[in-house]
């Protein structure tokens, strides 16, 4: 058993990771500022430290704990929001990552897993996009994620793994947050009975990956030396048009086919295509996606509808 610090542990991905870690016999500890995460996302008995990671105060507060690994999931993950407040994005992403690295160094923690983003590629010229593709950030969020990757790669005495997550979805996302998470934004509109508001055209291609596949990749790599100092894409490898994603949500929610969908101007820095080449993760530690997008959307819609009483 190992003791693992999960940053952003009360958020969507972080809370799923805490569940998986505990089920596998590890002791997860969450740290989160609760700006988007929620205490109720965590199972009973999982410790939560409430702190702003960009403020170094938490480093001394956790100095007495002994962790075997850190999984750094905490982030401000909206490209659009990063343009509205670049300084806040820098603190939440770049500066927070620097603090995590300082914590690892001061407490002699060698193992770090970092969840980066496919946004670092910008609008990539190579499709499907391999993890060897040169980053070309088009948003402050992407630039801060790319800079955080560089910090990690330059840090000494650290066994790091970087996962570039494609659009991650599943049960447990905050449906009221309209700034991030394409699938759950559309789902939130439908479950509230509101017209679906879409920024950009419906023919854009999006590679979406179910949270269970992301969690499984992280768990497989946690103590696997084959993944150390590796950078990997996590996507389904089966992109859908945005219109297909919306239509699938509408269908699975039992809404009429002519449910209102309103297309608006695209957000700045929004790529036309995302499509992950996941061959590096497959070859290095045997991971590949198990949940295909159309199935995963159906699972997610059913779970949300059951949870809020919209379905029996």
List pLDDT tens digits, range 264-282.
Answer: 999 999 999 999 999 999 9
Q: Please indicate, yes or no, if residue 29 is contained in any of the structural domains.
A: yes
Lowest mean pLDDT among 18-22, 61-65, 298-302: 61-65
CATH number of the domain residue 50 falls in: 3.40.50.720
User: Which pLDDT score is estimated for 305?
Assistant: 93
Q: Which residue has the higher pLDDT, 81 or 24?
A: 24
User: Which pLDDT score is estimated for 96?
Assistant: 97
What's the domain count of the chain? 1
Reported as a single tens digit per residue, the pLDDT across 66-120 is 999 999 999 988 888 889 999 999 999 999 999 999 999 999 999 999 999 999 9
Reported as a single tens digit per residue, the pLDDT across 199-231 is 999 999 999 999 999 999 999 999 999 999 999
Residue 309 has pLDDT above 70, yes or no: no
Q: Please indicate, yes or no, if residue 131 is contained in any of the structural domains.
A: yes
User: Which pLDDT score is estimated for 312?
Assistant: 32
Q: Please indicate, yes or no, if residue 221 is contained in any of the structural domains.
A: yes
User: Which pLDDT score is estimated for 310?
Assistant: 53
Residue 156 binned pLDDT confidence (cut-offs 50, 70, 90): confident
Task: Give pTM, 2 decimals.
Answer: 0.96
Instruction: Please state, as a whole number, how many other Cβ atoms lie within 10 Å of the Cβ of residue 253.
Output: 19
Task: Tell me what the pLDDT averaged over the chain comes to.
Answer: 95
Q: Please indicate, yes or no, if residue 13 is contained in any of the structural domains.
A: yes
Q: Please indicate, yes or no, if residue 47 is contained in any of the structural domains.
A: yes
Q: Please indicate, yes or no, if residue 63 is contained in any of the structural domains.
A: yes
Q: Please indicate, yes or no, if residue 310 is contained in any of the structural domains.
A: no
Q: Please indicate, yes or no, if residue 191 is contained in any of the structural domains.
A: no
Give the active site residues.
141
Q: Which domain holds residue 95?
A: 3-169+210-235+271-290
């Amino acid at each position: 058993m190992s003791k693992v610090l999960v940053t952003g542990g009360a958020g969507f991905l972080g809370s799923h990771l805490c569940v998986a870690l505990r089920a596998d016999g590890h002791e997860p500890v969450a740290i989160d500022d609760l700006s988007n995460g929620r205490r109720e996302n965590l199972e009973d008995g999982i410790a939560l430290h409430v702190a702003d990671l960009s403020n170094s105060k938490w480093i001394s507060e956790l100095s007495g704990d002994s962790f075997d690994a850190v999984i750094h999931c905490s982030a401000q993950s909206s490209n659009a929001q990063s343009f509205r407040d670049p300084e806040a994005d820098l603190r939440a992403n770049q500066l927070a990552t620097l603090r995590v690295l300082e914590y690892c160094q001061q407490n002699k923690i060698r193992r770090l897993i970092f969840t980066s983003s496919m946004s670092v590629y910008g609008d990539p010229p190579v499709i499907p996009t391999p993890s060897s593709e040169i980053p070309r950030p088009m948003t402050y969020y992407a630039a801060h994620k790319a800079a955080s990757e560089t910090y990690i790669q330059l840090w000494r005495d650290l066994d790091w793994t970087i996962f570039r997550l494609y659009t991650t979805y599943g049960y447990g996302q905050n449906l009221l947050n309209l700034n991030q998470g394409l699938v759950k934004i559309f789902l939130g509109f439908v479950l509230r009975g509101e017209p679906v508001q879409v920024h950009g055209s419906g023919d854009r291609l999006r590679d979406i990956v179910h949270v269970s596949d992301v969690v499984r990749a992280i768990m497989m790599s946690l103590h696997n030396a084959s993944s150390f100092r590796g950078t990997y894409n996590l996507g389904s490898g089966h992109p859908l048009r945005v219109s297909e994603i919306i239509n699938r949500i509408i269908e699975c929610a039992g809404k009429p086919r002519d449910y209102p969908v309103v297309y608006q101007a695209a957000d700045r820095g929004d790529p036309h295509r995302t499509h992950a080449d996941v061959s590096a993760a497959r070859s290095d530690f045997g991971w590949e996606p198990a949940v295909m997008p159309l199935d995963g959307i159906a699972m997610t819609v059913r779970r949300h509808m059951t949870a809020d009483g919209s379905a029996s």
